[in-house]
Structure 1
Amino acid sequence: MLAFQFPGQGAQSAGFLHRLPEHAAVRDTLAEASQVLGIDVLTLDTSAALRSTVAVQVGLVVAGVATVRALADSQLTPDVSAGLSVGAYAAAVSCGALQFDDALRMVRKRAELMEAAYPSGYGLAAISGLSEHQLEVVADELARRGVPRAYIGNVNAPRQIVMAGSDAALEALVERALAAGARKATRLEVSVPSHCELLAGATEELIDYAREVPFHTPRSIYVGNRGGRPLHTAQAIRDDLATNMRYTVRWFDALTVMLEMGARVLVEAPPGQVLTDIVRENLPEATAIAASSMAHERLVATVRRRLAVDRH
């Protein structure tokens, strides 16, 4: 089985939309996005533009859908789609639950709400080498000392956790986590405290917005963020997308479920290969391929070859 995985905020890098393959489906996707949003989306990936949460989140969805369409042109369509955080919007388009134009508008609304709620002074930190429980203990200990609360944002792997909170909370947590034995603890290029209670108010506004967005029964499997489980109805996918900025992303649970369902070849949409590295490090029985790591023709050939091996 073929799975597509779509990265979240933090995977972006300057020029990532310009590095998409020269392909008619990519050009058409860029043109469609520009028309829907009323801007040239190729202006969204400069270093200056990427300081905007809106530019980053919209750009990631555009890159994900462009990749899906280019691969579909070679008859490579996923059995399973999942995306981390904002990547879930591209996954919803990939499985047919959401139209691309509606995804773009909803993502823009989502990002605007997040940016308005926390224009500065907040963000995310990635911690490697400690478990979710260990980091909860550290966060509780710091909160008892009067340090602002930090929250579990993403569980990307058993010992690869992303924490959310204010700059003061994350600065204290990074220091304490390293002292407690973390291998690595670094701030991410994300300026909002995603996936925690700090975004409860913004989530309620997005839920209201999403009521008017048409969703559809997925044509293939969609694996959600909050529970890391397959979701089979339009309403369940709407709820997952509208609320995922408030709740912990159970990414490793989602990966585990995809493999349990039979996914063996996992293609990560651009940019980067954060999700590919998680699979390679933790789930060696699967083949993980980052689309951005090779030319499009080679990607198509590699995926076909790996799927043929898997079938035999």
Structure 2
Amino acid sequence: MSLLSLKDQIRASTVCKAWREAAKSVTVVHKYQWFVSIPTWGNSIDLLDPLQGKKYTMNLPEKGVTDVSYSKDGWLLMRRSCFVQFFFFNPYSRELISLPDYELPYQAIAFSSAPTSETCTLVTLNPISEYIVAISTCYPGSAEWITTEFHCSLPFDLINIHSNLVFANDRFYCFTSGGVLFEFDPASRTLNHQAWDDVRFPEIHNNERSYLPKELYLMEQKGELILMYTYGIEKPMVYKLVSSKWEEMSSTLDGLTIFASLSCSETRKDVLGMKNSVYFPNYGLRNNKQCVSYSYDDARYYPGQPKRLWSVDSLWIDPPPFLR
């Protein structure tokens, strides 16, 4: 079964119960993220399997005129064109879960788990000044958002935090371009922070200011925080937080696959055909079904030399349930 293409695996799984169980064992092992492009206008979205290079278009009348803000566990956090109405949307089941209006500005937003779980928490970050940040929380079924202002002893950068809000170990984390990790506990509504002088953005390697396009990504892998810097088409630099110290990962990424985007980033381990690579939510060339990626095994980008590594209306999502 593992030698079949994904499409043939699906067909084989319908033969009988035993074959279905065999197909499940293969697809679970090879589970990885899919690329999803969600234009603001129109009722359709595009799904792309980055490994198979196959593209699917879904017509979703429920979508309307919206922006996508975050993705996790197969759910999308959407925002309507009025900019104050958020809702959860599952493009596969077409289930929609409304949220109370949110009228405050924000620079980063994330949720902890699927909105159907009892532990789902939404968080927004809004730096008011260099040393003051407003954090708002909400839960599915809540009547309103709760906002608290925190005064920090370390500066909270006003840039490059859009892709750096992540949930791990019952807390939300944000890493700023100044090398500060902020930790927010939604249960106690407390905020802590710690700085690292040796991991700064973006001049950490040569202490010189660079004019290359640069991005900062924070993600988690089974409770461990992973940090990645990108500089134009240079090799992405990846670090892991180990015992309160950021350590640069080996040149092979230890079998890790990173799915990076401006909204949120995910990691997977030991995915056949995708190990030791970073995938970005962007096509390499016009009408090309291959996503831009960087291979640490080959020390190069595919395909070609991309002009940029991100796309505003694109991110990653769990594959359709029938493929898991």
Larger radius of gyration: 2
* Structure 1 or 2: more strand by fraction: 2
**Same fold at TM > 0.5:** no
Q: Structure 1-normalised TM-score?
A: 0.28
